[in-house]
């Protein structure tokens, strides 16, 4: 009988024994082709962690607050992050070709905020990802949503194409208002995405059981920043996620909607790459921002 209702209570997540990846520093990637590993090594630092800056929001909600001018609001932040997550339209029109960040390109889309967001399709051919020099492509997956099967099909189509060309796929767990962001749901969604072949997964943080979510996912889990929080709360969430097994963060609104985005992204980087505690990172934000109080 499948463990559909959680009737097997005694599960061993092996939290005291990290998953081993012999020969390569990125979780679950040791047996991938060279090109795939080379691209992943651009997304993640030598410590196996990443600070990704997400500013792809416009593909479904237009000029989001803080993203009205990508050239003014986002490009100056690029030196402080490992990867930029954006659409191909923004990359080609605004992002300078001289940036050395890894590019994670949104590859699914369709409906706007005026429609059912789960009704997405593949929105970019994998060959165009190669032309852009993408380090990875991102596909939204709506586990439990109205268009679950279609979004899973979008994912597997891109995974197959990515395997042909050596391009990793980031599976993004989409959580609608009707779905609970608890460890049971997030564990289900992240594991499905990894089992279907995605090389990395982006998901939300949950207060209880997040370590189980990351432990049960055989590929890197990157924490999604979600809605804007107070500075200390956002940094605490990032710290706890990494401490509980996340391979980094992909933040957007918690960075670009700040009074001092450049200060915030450096504080986040201190948490992810330097193991700074939340209070230390908050103090860094206040210092670099000249005392911003948001």
pLDDT at position 55: 95
Q: What is the mean pLDDT of residues 184-208?
A: 97
Higher-confidence residue of 10 and 236: namely: 236
Whether 121 has a pLDDT exceeding 90, the answer reads: no
- Highest mean pLDDT among 106-120, 171-185, 232-246 belongs to 232-246
pLDDT band of 94, cuts 50, 70, 90:
very high
Apex CA 228: angle with CA 241 and CA 201, to 5°? 40
Question: How does pLDDT run across 142-194, given as a tens digit for each residue?
Answer: 998 888 999 999 999 999 999 999 999 999 998 765 567 899 999 999 999 99
Residues 122, 238, 90, 75, Cα dihedral to 10°: -160
**Alpha-carbon torsion 83, 86, 88, 92, what sign?**
negative
User: Alpha helix (H) ranges present in 94-230?
Assistant: 126-132, 148-165, 183-195, 210-216
Higher-confidence residue of 288 and 16: namely: 288
CA-to-CA distance for 167 and 250, rounded, in angstroms? 19
Which residue shows structure tokens 């024994």? Answer: 17
Whether 2 has a pLDDT exceeding 60, the answer reads: no
With beta carbons less than 8 A apart as the criterion, state whether 175 and 204 touch. yes
Apex CA 68: angle with CA 177 and CA 267, to 5°? 75
Tell me how crowded residue 236 is: count the other CB atoms within 10 A of its CB. 19
Higher-confidence residue of 208 and 112: namely: 208
Q: Which tokens in the block code for residue 95?
A: 């992002």
Q: What is the mean pLDDT of residues 84-112?
A: 93
pLDDT at position 218: 98
Catalytic site positions: 202
pLDDT band of 110, cuts 50, 70, 90:
confident
Helix (H) or strand (E) holding 222: strand 221-224
Higher-confidence residue of 67 and 266: namely: 266
Whether 23 has a pLDDT exceeding 50, the answer reads: yes
Of the ranges 211-220, 233-242, 285-294, which one carries the lowest mean pLDDT score? 285-294
pLDDT at position 1: 43
- Highest mean pLDDT among 12-16, 19-23, 191-195 belongs to 191-195
Q: What is the mean pLDDT of residues 88-96?
A: 96
Question: How does pLDDT run across 244-266, given as a tens digit for each residue?
Answer: 999 999 999 999 999 999 999 99
pLDDT band of 6, cuts 50, 70, 90:
low
pLDDT at position 176: 62
């Amino acid at each position: 009988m499948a463990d559909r209702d959680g009737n097997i209570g005694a599960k061993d997540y092996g939290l005291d024994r990290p998953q081993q990846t012999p020969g390569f520093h990125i979780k679950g990637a040791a047996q991938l082709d060279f090109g795939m590993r080379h691209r992943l090594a651009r997304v993640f630092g030598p410590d196996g962690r990443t600070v990704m800056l997400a500013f792809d929001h416009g593909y479904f909600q237009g000029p989001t607050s803080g993203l009205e001018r990508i050239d003014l609001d986002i490009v100056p932040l690029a030196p402080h992050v490992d990867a930029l997550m954006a659409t191909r339209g923004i990359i080609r029109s605004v992002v300078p070709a001289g940036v050395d960040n890894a590019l994670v390109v949104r590859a699914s889309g369709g409906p706007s905020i005026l429609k059912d967001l789960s009704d997405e399709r593949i929105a970019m051919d994998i060959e165009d990802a190669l032309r852009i020099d993408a380090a990875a492509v991102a596909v939204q997956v709506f586990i439990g949503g109205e268009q679950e099967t279609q979004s899973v099909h979008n994912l597997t189509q891109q995974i197959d194409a990515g395997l042909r060309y050596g391009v990793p796929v980031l599976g993004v767990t989409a959580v609608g208002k009707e779905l609970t962001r608890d460890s049971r749901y997030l564990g289900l969604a992240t594991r499905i995405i990894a089992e279907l072949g995605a090389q990395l997964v982006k998901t939300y943080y949950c207060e209880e059981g997040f370590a189980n979510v990351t432990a049960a996912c055989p590929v890197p889990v990157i924490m999604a920043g979600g809605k804007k929080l107070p500075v200390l709360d956002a940094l605490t969430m990032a710290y706890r996620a990494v401490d509980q097994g996340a391979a980094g963060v992909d933040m957007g609104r918690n960075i670009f909607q700040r009074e001092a985005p450049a200060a915030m992204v450096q504080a986040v980087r201190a948490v992810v790459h330097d193991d700074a505690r939340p209070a230390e990172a908050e103090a860094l934000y206040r210092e670099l921002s000249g005392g911003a109080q948001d």
